[in-house]
Amino acid sequence: MTSKHLNRTAIAIVTCALILSACGNSDTTNSTNSNNGASSNASESANSGASANNNDGASSETVDPAAKYDPPIEFTIVGESDPNLKFDSGQTYEKNGVYDMYEKDLGISIKNKWMVDSKQYPEKVKLSIASDDIPDLMKVTVDDLQQLVENDILADLTDVYEKYATDETKTFMTSDGGKQLDSAKFDGKLMAIPVTNSPYNDAQFLYVRKDWLQKLNLTEPKTMDDVLKISEAFTKQDPDGNGKEDTVGFVAQKEIYNPAYGFAGFFNGFHAYPGAWVKDASGKLAYGSIQPEMKTALKALQDLFKAGQLDKEFFTVDHMKANELVANGQAGMAYGPFWLTSWPMPSAVVKDNKVTADWEVYPIPSADDSPALNQVGLGVNAYYVVSKKSEHPEAAIKLLNRFIEVDSHPITPETKAYKFGSSDQELWKLNPIVVMSQDLNAKTGGLLSKAVEAKDPSSLDGNVSGTAYYNDAIKFLDGDTSLWSSWMNAKPHGSLEIMNQYLTASQFLTNAFTGAPTPAMVAKKSILDQKEQELFTKIVINQAPVDEFDKFVEEWKSLGGEEITTEVNDWSAKRGG
């Protein structure tokens, strides 16, 4: 999925589904890429400016990254079939308009080595690795990448990336500060191309019934103390005015770490980072779930539950059941990402073409004078790798350049074939490399809200996503309530403006461990995670005392956590951490 050509709501829903399916995560991974790999046997043309050197794929001479191979080279890939993909008439996975464009523009003839259903893809990749029969380009998991590097199967892309990646590509691939690209490096060598996505889309926000705030004469939440006072008032002061004690402070569901209707933002407000690896005072990596800040946050949640400010059955319900509290006007606050207003909130807020409640979005408040940091993942769930046997590893960088060039600019009649074909289908899935912006929404947020407020989109010229959001917001103001989600993202003080504020103020904390699961993780992490979730939920619902947290910390260490910590720090040391 590319963030520039899909309907805003559809993007958010897809992003949400991905996060939920891997929660305790990608990000926010990635949608199905119908073609994920490749190989090549043709000779390099003089016009391409490169030699067919298998050691580095490039000569020391100056090269033109956009030069076309003449005659064309063959580059094989593998991929996942999509049963919902509709081709233009007469086209197939083997012969289609997207492949034709790469041959026309770059002289790269893309050939499918194999194509399987997405459910079969991971196993097929492993079989290809085991038989040392990988194509020139293939999408793999971080586990697969580790194995491929250890078995010396991959091409070192360091030199070809430096020589063939355009300035636009290099900027695009490092807009997160270089974390995602660095994750593909082993001993300083670039061994893969990360399937980039935005880690900042995981940012948490606090959603509050502003109409209830106004009715009860409450100030907007700036601190955690404000949040707790608002929660108490929403529970005890009859904000819906029906004379009944039928409201609670927070919408909540059974997965307390879940980004949507969970308490990820609440934990972060106490400087607690469950499930993440963070640097301790000594500079070593430590597991966030066992730090003292977690105990403080759990105690605060337990107090909310005991005071009736959480639904007494929240630990048994899923997102949609929790959403009924929103629909029934029985809860006044919720933590969630920017896409919460795309799913599941809209079905509860917009009814019969009317917005039935005035929800406002706020930055997550802190429990003290230090700003709350948003816990985010790396934003990468897969990597494109190039076979060491490939005669043209630089072709992968050329494909990357072209996709970024096309996807980063408004569609023209000449580039439409790369994405939609003649019948406006989602043919972008056929691109052999699909990467997504690392910071598009966060950067756009700095311009978008001002443009909407001024009703002047000129600052968004060339920003396809920002322009789409702007148009949706203006349509909402003109009465199209179906675009409430885009309005909540794009409006002044909306979620994207706040996301930009987070980015500008460096209020993100990235999980410091980005490697493949260590041996001890593989053997013991699932059991530790289960114990953690069970105990922490029991603490929140007052079925276990808060001091059980201390016992859990010692148990976690003895049951494998200490071993995992050692392995994580060994990994960090090898990475120069």
First to last CA, the chain: 33
Q: What domain range includes position 187?
A: 32-198+380-430
Ramachandran angles phi, psi of 541, nearest 5°: -90, 15
Q: What is the mean pLDDT of residues 152-178?
A: 97
Q: What is the mean pLDDT of residues 402-413?
A: 94
Q: Say what the pLDDT of residue 421 is.
A: 87
- Check residues 40 and 266 and name the one with the higher pLDDT: 266
CB–CB of 546/298 below 8 Å? Answer: yes
Please check whether residue 420 lies inside any domain of the structure.
yes
What pLDDT digit, counting tens, does each position of 104-159 carry? 999 999 999 999 999 999 999 999 999 999 999 999 999 999 999 999 999 999 99
What pLDDT digit, counting tens, does each position of 286-303 carry? 999 999 999 999 999 999
Please check whether residue 393 lies inside any domain of the structure.
yes
Ramachandran angles phi, psi of 109, nearest 5°: -90, 110
Q: What is the mean pLDDT of residues 49-63?
A: 50
Q: Say what the pLDDT of residue 425 is.
A: 86
- pLDDT of 285 strictly over 90: yes
Please check whether residue 14 lies inside any domain of the structure.
no
- Check residues 555 and 462 and name the one with the higher pLDDT: 555
Please check whether residue 408 lies inside any domain of the structure.
yes
Answer whether the bond into residue 72 is a cis peptide, omega within 30°. no
Q: How confident is the model at residue 576 (pLDDT cuts 50, 70, 90)?
A: confident
Three-state SS string over 467-523 comes to HHHHHHHHHHHCCCHHHHHHHHHHCCCCHHHHHHHHHHCCCEEECCCCCCCCHHHHH
- Burial class from Cβ neighbours inside 10 Å (0-12, 13-18, 19+) for residue 443 reads buried
pTM of this prediction?
0.87
Q: How confident is the model at residue 459 (pLDDT cuts 50, 70, 90)?
A: very high
Residue whose tokens read 């995602």: 180
Pick the closest to residue 465 from 479, 455, 451, 482 (CA basis): 451
Q: Say what the pLDDT of residue 68 is.
A: 97
Q: Say what the pLDDT of residue 577 is.
A: 65
What pLDDT digit, counting tens, does each position of 545-563 carry? 999 999 999 999 999 999 9
What pLDDT digit, counting tens, does each position of 223-249 carry? 999 999 999 999 999 999 999 999 999
Please check whether residue 134 lies inside any domain of the structure.
yes
Q: What is the CATH number of the domain that holds 422?
A: 3.40.190.10
The rounded percent of the chain whose pLDDT value lies above 90 is 85
Pick the closest to residue 272 from 555, 532, 572 (CA basis): 532
Q: Say what the pLDDT of residue 422 is.
A: 83
Total of domains in the chain: 1
- pLDDT of 183 strictly over 50: yes
Q: Say what the pLDDT of residue 138 is.
A: 98
Q: How confident is the model at residue 462 (pLDDT cuts 50, 70, 90)?
A: confident
What pLDDT digit, counting tens, does each position of 468-523 carry? 999 999 999 999 999 999 999 999 999 999 999 999 999 999 999 999 999 999 99
Q: What is the mean pLDDT of residues 242-258?
A: 97
Please check whether residue 442 lies inside any domain of the structure.
no
Average pLDDT of the chain, as a whole number: 91
